[in-house]
Amino acid sequence: MSIQKLIDEVELLKAEYEKFERGNKSAGTRSRKCLQNIKKIAQEIRIQIQDTKTKEA
């Protein structure tokens, strides 16, 4: 998992959320999906960081 994937998902969220703010209800659903993906990616990155720290110790 890479930081770039997280950045891409945040950019997608930004675009969808802007559509939602303009009244597009479907974009709200897509925004929530992006947020869930961001949570998943962040957790995977956290695990990678912890594994790296553990191996170095």
Tens digit of each residue's pLDDT (9 = 90 or more) over 6-37:
999 999 999 999 999 999 999 999 999 999 99
Q: How confident is the model at residue 1 (pLDDT cuts 50, 70, 90)?
A: low
How is the chain split into domains, by residue range?
Answer: 3-56
**pTM, whole model, 2 decimals?**
0.88
Q: Give the pLDDT of residue 4.
A: 95
Asked if residue 41 lies in contact with residue 2, where contact means CB atoms within 8 angstroms, the answer is no
14 Cβ partners below 8 Å, 6+ apart? none
Residue 56, burial from CB neighbour count under 10 angstroms (0-12, 13-18, 19+): exposed
**The one-letter amino acid at 50:** Q
Give the list of residues 6+ apart from residue 36 with CB closer than 8 angstroms, or none. none
